[in-house]
């Protein structure tokens, strides 16, 4: 049985594990104020061409989203997100739990558009009773999205332009950022990402680290007191150097992008096999998550040898099934899955 249901089924890349072992008995200051975290911060700022950024290291994705949003918003403020966005569907109401509303906007492909945000803001800003509403102050997007789609440079630039005009912060959740950077159709460089948002995260948990997410804050308004707010949210790791060691190793010699690119290419190989066999998709994903439409019988047959994710029961009786690869997905298992697909 081989797992194609998520991108966090393995531990971490051997180089990262070796570095953790090699530094295991080193003594350092805690809470992310150690030389390893300092090195990782500098490597990330260099990679994304943002020397003035503040970089912080947290443990998990939901924790990161919650902490960033709490740090950015005042008590009466809210955040726009697509209906299928992570903060709206997979965080157990964490944002609402701390008193901020998620304002869900419809999206067939998981993305938000500049026009959509402009119209949503116009409706709020011109309503005479707006002081009775939760005030929009942030736009949350993912690169790539929860359903595998990806923003182009043009789309992100236009979205950020609208956000700036409306006084909205733009937050990019990069939990799977490495897989977007590694796809052939991507036209966003690391520098482009940093230049077109106020804050973004770099996912480690799904991208070759044991655990960890980096928060990169570009907007000076969001920098003060972030560590204190993170502590209040239980997001400061005492042995913070464990995060610094991992991120430094990931960004020292392009390891992060190299291994994630391989994960994406594995998914695209499977996607092409599905296309060749006549399958349709819920969305056209160029990244490591493929959402394919299968009959219950097809899903059950593949599930005899592979673990897949049943995402949704479709109105016509078919299933939306996620096939997900990772930085560690084996060539041999991809080939086995493709051969099994051909028998359906």
Q: What is the pLDDT of residue 29?
A: 96
* Two domains, one topology: 2-7+257-342 and 14-255: no
Q: What is the pLDDT of residue 200?
A: 98
Q: What is the pTM of this model?
A: 0.97
**208 contact partners, CB below 8 Å, separation of at least 6:** 12, 13, 16, 178, 250, 255, 256, 259, 260, 327, 328
Which class is 14-255 in CATH? alpha beta
Low pLDDT (below 50) residues in the chain: none
Find the distance separating the first CA and the last CA of the chain, reported in whole Å: 18
Distances (CA, A) of 213 to 70, 94, 138, 146, 177: 16, 17, 20, 17, 11
Q: What is the pLDDT of residue 136?
A: 98
Long-range contacts of 83-90 (CB under 8 A, 24+ apart): 83/107, 84/110, 84/145, 84/146, 84/147, 85/110, 85/140, 85/141, 85/142, 85/145, 85/146, 86/61, 86/62, 86/142, 86/146, 86/173, 86/175, 87/140, 87/173, 89/146, 90/62, 90/146
pLDDT tens string 68-91: 999 999 999 999 999 999 999 999
pLDDT tens string 263-317: 999 999 999 999 999 999 999 999 999 999 999 999 999 999 999 999 999 999 9
Look at the domain 2-7+257-342 and name its fold: 3.90.1150
Q: What is the pLDDT of residue 185?
A: 96
Q: What is the pLDDT of residue 293?
A: 98
Q: What is the DSSP-derived secondary structure letter of residue 131?
A: G
Among left, alpha and beta (phi > 0; psi -120 to 50; other), residue 324 is beta
Quote the Cα angle for 203-207-211, to 5°: 65
Domain boundaries, the chain: 2-7+257-342, 14-255
Q: What is the pLDDT of residue 57?
A: 98
């Amino acid at each position: 049985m081989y797992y194609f249901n998520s991108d966090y089924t393995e531990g971490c890349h051997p180089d990262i594990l070796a570095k953790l072992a090699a530094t295991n008995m080193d003594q350092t200051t805690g809470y992310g104020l150690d030389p390893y975290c300092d090195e990782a911060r500098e490597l990330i700022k260099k990679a994304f061409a943002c020397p003035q950024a503040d970089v912080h290291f947290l443990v998990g994705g939901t924790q990161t989203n919650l902490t960033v949003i709490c740090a950015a918003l005042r008590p009466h403020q809210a955040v726009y997100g697509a209906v299928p966005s992570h903060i709206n569907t997979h965080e157990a109401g964490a944002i609402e739990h701390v008193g901020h509303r998620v304002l869900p906007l419809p999206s067939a492909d998981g993305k938000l558009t500049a026009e959509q945000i402009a119209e949503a803001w116009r409706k709020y800003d011109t309503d005479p009773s707006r002081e009775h509403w939760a005030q929009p102050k942030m736009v949350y997007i993912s690169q790539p999205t929860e359903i595998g789609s990806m923003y182009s440079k043009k789309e992100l630039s236009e979205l950020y332009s609208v956000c700036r005009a409306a006084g909205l912060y733009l937050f990019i959740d990069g939990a799977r950022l490495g897989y977007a950077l590694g796809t052939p159709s991507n036209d966003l460089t690391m520098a482009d990402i940093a230049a077109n948002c106020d804050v973004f995260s770099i996912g480690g948990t799904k991208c070759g680290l044991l655990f960890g997410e980096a928060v990169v804050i570009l907007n000076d308004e969001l920098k003060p007191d972030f560590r204190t707010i993170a502590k209040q949210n239980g997001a400061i790791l005492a042995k913070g150097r464990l995060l610094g060691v991992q991120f430094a190793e990931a960004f020292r010699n392009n390891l992060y992008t190299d291994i994630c690119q391989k994960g994406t290419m594995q998914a695209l190989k499977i996607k092409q096999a599905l296309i060749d066999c006549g399958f349709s998709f819920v969305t056209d994903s160029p990244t490591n998550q493929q959402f394919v439409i299968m009959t219950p019988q097809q899903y059950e047959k593949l599930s005899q040898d592979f673990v897949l994710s049943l995402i949704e029961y479709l109105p016509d009786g078919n299933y939306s099934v996620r096939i997900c690869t990772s930085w560690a997905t084996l060539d041999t298992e991809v080939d086995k899955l493709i051969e099994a697909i051909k028998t359906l």
